[in-house]
Amino acid sequence: MSGQPPSAVRPVQPAPGYSQFHSMLKRRLSKGASTVIRPFALNLRPKLESTDERFLLLRWLYTDRVNHEIKERELSREVTTHSAEETVAFGRTLAELLAPPKLVLLRGDLGAGKTTLVKGIAAAFAAADEEDVTSPTFTLVHEYRGPRATLYHIDLYRIDTPRELDTLALDDLRSDNSILLIEWGEKFPRFVHERDVEISLEREVENGRRIRVSG
Ligand code: ADP
Ligand code: MG
């Protein structure tokens, strides 16, 4: 028996090379995307049936062709960023997950990085340049039109009553190609019920931000 691996660690079949796996991913992507990017792969993961396929996907995710900071935890869409730039970059990876129509709640204290994350999301949808995305704290609603979606970045920090909320007529913004990204939306229970995706940001030490995405 010596020299035999325990059965629980059955060796995984030799993986085909990157290009082979790349074309396999491409074949599997219904939209026939020409560039396989990580969000596609993350979407694809639940559709992969066999252990080998999942292994290959993981291996692909870990190659140096993608951000070396990707860690196992991020596969469940949880990540810690260490700068505003990293949060913007993470926001960019969320585009596939946020295909319209969506109502997204952004939760977190003041300065947690909600608006920073929207910079990445808006950029990924080619709806705005990062630097043009600013806080709608006083303006309440910012609109960014992209080719695939219209983003509405909304900040309800200063809105306290359902009546004030009604004046914003947010329901009128909802359509097949709209994405509502709402900061402080959890102040109103209806948004907690209606939201498709929730992204929470928590300040850790200094510039560290724990970001969790749940659907
Ligand atoms: P919120 O919209 O949640 O109130 P903002 O995105 O407007 O927060 O501001 C976050 C602030 O924290 C910015 O000044 C940004 O530069 C800073 N910051 C530092 N580290 C990070 C990080 N890891 N992610 C996001 N923002 C960070
Ligand atoms: Mg903000």
Q: Which residues surround ligand 2, an ion (CB under 5 A)?
A: 114-115, 135, 183
Positions of the chain with pLDDT lower than 50, given as ranges: 1-16, 29-36, 63-76
Q: What is the mean pLDDT of the chain?
A: 79
* Per-residue exposure over 21-34, b if at least 16 CB sit within 10 Å of its own CB, e if not: beebbeeebeeeee
Burial class (CB in 10 A: 0-12, 13-18, 19+), 103: buried
Kindly list the protein residues whose Cβ atom lies closer than 6 A to any atom of ligand 1: 81-84, 86-87, 108, 110-116, 135, 183, 207, 209
Give the model's pLDDT for residue 55: 64
Rounded distance from Cα 115 to ligand 1 centre (Å): 7
Q: What DSSP character marks residue 34?
A: S
pLDDT tens, residue by residue, 156-205: 999 999 999 999 999 999 999 999 999 999 999 999 999 999 999 999 98
Rounded distance from Cα 168 to ligand 2 centre (Å): 18
Q: What DSSP character marks residue 195?
A: -
Nearest CA to ligand 1 atom 24: 84
φ/ψ of 200, rounded to 5, equals -110, 140
Give the model's pLDDT for residue 67: 42
Rounded distance from Cα 114 to ligand 1 centre (Å): 7
